[in-house]
Chain A
Amino acid sequence: MWKTFLAFVVKEFRHILRDKRTLIIMLGMPIALMLIFGYAVRTDFQEAGFAVWDQARDQHSQMLVERMTASGYFLQKATVQQKEEMEQLFRQGEIKVALVIPPSFGEMLEKGVPTQLQLISDGTEPNTATTLLYYLNSILLTYQRDLSEKRFGPLPPPNISIEQTMVYNPELKSTFMFVPGVITVVLMLISAMLTSLSIAKEKEKRTIELLLISPLPPLLIIVGKVLPYILLSLLNGLIIIGMGIAIFDMPMHGSWLFLILSLVLFIMTALSLGIFISTKVNSQQTALFASLLGLMLPTVLLSGYIFPIESMPAPLQTISNITPAKWFIIIIKGIMLKGIGLKLLIKPVTILAVMTFAFLAISWKNFKIHL
């Protein structure tokens, strides 16, 4: 009895050990997840860009800004003199927060009069806004404590409070974050994963040979395969955006035409990835694994959808940069929440276009050779 059972177990182990791909996934997946969660999922920030509107220009206001920079959490990107400059920086995505220091800040601090700083945050990233407020608060507390220690006499302790204001998303609605995220994940799932699965299925069942033996040109085979997915994905994207606006009060400040064109662009990027995967694999199972690991994981974890990119270590930030989802989320938030056009979004749009083109070119070469 035991001997039979053992023989069976040994056979199963041989299957697993022989199948290198499954083995890599089985052992690699937990390691990859641990690394990603351990590093990417930290909510602490490093060097979040900020701008200062210093109306006091005294010793204390300068000290405060210095301390912010010294903390390592903030990185000063600009000094501004007026509201418009600040808004411009927010639109460009240069800064996450802006600090407004009121006139005679230092004077009031010396006298012990309560003063108030204003922290303006980018509401399209609610998690980031909350975390940065918390950092600033703790920097201020330390600063006040240090001041008290230096001072003697009957003066009341320094008293600084922070008023937080949001641009774009004053109520800090998480909807604004998850709608772009859901669109990205769904489009990746439908366009990339289903495309790669459906092509892999034709290869696995060898029906692809019937298509290749027919007078259909290879280009037509590919276009014919992906067209239904393009249409379905577009429909899906519009349904999610419609729901976001109608049910979850997502604003739509930008151009619809630009939004739809961006959707089509991202769908094309996802499809080109799907086609690329399918030229590399021969079975549906492998296609599924490759899509899950290569596409879904980065899309969910590294696109900035759930975890802020700024707090990831450099290697993961690099991976994040080559994740199409990251750029699409920037575009969609820019259009819907900030109402900006192609001029300010030219970088993410170009990156997606180049990625699409590159993947299609590589796939085309593979397709010709292998089929």
Chain B
Amino acid sequence: MFTNSIETRELTKKFGSFTAVNRISFEVKQSEVFGFLGANGAGKTTAMRMLTGLLLPSSGQARVAGFDVYTQPEQIKRSIGYMSQKFSLYQDLTPTENIQFFGGIYGLSYKEIRRQSKELIGKLGMEKIAKKRVGDLPLGWKQRLAFSLALLHKPKIVFLDEPTSGVDPLTRRAFWEYIHQEASEGTTIFITTHYMDEAEYCHRLSIMVAGRIEALGKPSELRKEFQTENMDQLFLKLSQKDLVRQNAARTN
């Protein structure tokens, strides 16, 4: 029986001679908020695409919600939710229309969609703007709506791809509260971010550098292990290590 929501072992993706993801191994437990950190180009997106069934790995193993990424991508897609700050909503549709569409493609019944739509609009306090185009709404509301949509079909795991980028600190703070509330109800949260202060909000996290996972554990453990005061410093330390290694490789 799988107790872990996500498990990877030596998961690797190569594009030609370039190794985007280099033998990463980690697991995420149910109901956990797992932070997936790394600089741009470190391989976060590629790893996430493999876990969401969009991309086949070159080698290694991975199971998501108990399903194999090679043979059961369809079952994985049904068990996960996905949200990205940049493109999770149709900007030219209204909130209600977005709810109807995403409810529809995830196979919810009309009755269920109507019920959820009413409930969501009420919960988010969007009664007044339910008929406005999403593109005209403030970012904070869009973000909450997108998060709610990713949860519409009650997935076991939600992948959040830089959900807080471009949002003011107060709204970010509030958003993390929703995330933790959702996790406490049993949903596993897999979240990428490049705000290092947000790493502290995660139960556990990994930091990717140049395709590898260089750090993995609870925030407090990691601070101790790398002897840094905060995540920012930890991240810099890891990046510098990588730079030194690159330079060494070049001089050889």
Binding site for B on A (CB under 8 A): 205-207, 209-216
Contact = CB atoms under 8 A, between A and B. Distances in A.
B82 interface: yes
A205 B80 CA distance: 22
Nearest to B78: A215
Contacts of A211: 105
17 contacts: A205-B87, A206-B84, A207-B87, A207-B90, A209-B87, A210-B87, A211-B105, A213-B53, A213-B54, A213-B80, A214-B105, A214-B106, A215-B74, A215-B78, A215-B105, A215-B106, A216-B105
A342 to B, nearest CB: 40
Given A205-B91, A207-B87, A213 B105 contact: no
B40 to A, nearest CB: 16
Nearest to B107: A215
Nearest to A211: B105
Interface string B68-94: 000000100110101010111011000
B52 interface: yes
A258 to B, nearest CB: 37
B75 to A, nearest CB: 9
A206 B86 contact: yes
Nearest 5 interchain pairs by C-beta: A206-B87, A215-B77, A213-B82, A215-B78, A214-B105
A210 B88 contact: yes
Given A209-B84, A210-B102, A214-B77, 14 more contacts: A205-B87, A206-B87, A207-B90, A209-B87, A210-B82, A210-B87, A213-B53, A213-B54, A213-B77, A214-B105, A214-B106, A215-B74, A215-B77, A215-B105
Contacts of B86: 206
B146 to A, nearest CB: 10
A329 to B, nearest CB: 36
A199 to B, nearest CB: 14
A131 to B, nearest CB: 50
A213 B74 CA distance: 9
Contact of A213 (B52, B90, B91, B107): B52
Contacts of B84: 206, 209
B143 to A, nearest CB: 15
A211 B82 CA distance: 10
Contacts of B54: 209, 212-213
Nearest to A206: B87
A212 B106 CA distance: 12
Contacts of B90: 207
B76 to A, nearest CB: 9
Contacts of A209: 54, 84, 87
Contacts of B77: 213-215
Interface in B142-162: none
A202 to B, nearest CB: 9
Contacts of B107: 215
A214 B153 CA distance: 11
B85 to A, nearest CB: 11
A141 to B, nearest CB: 66
Contacts of A205: 87, 91
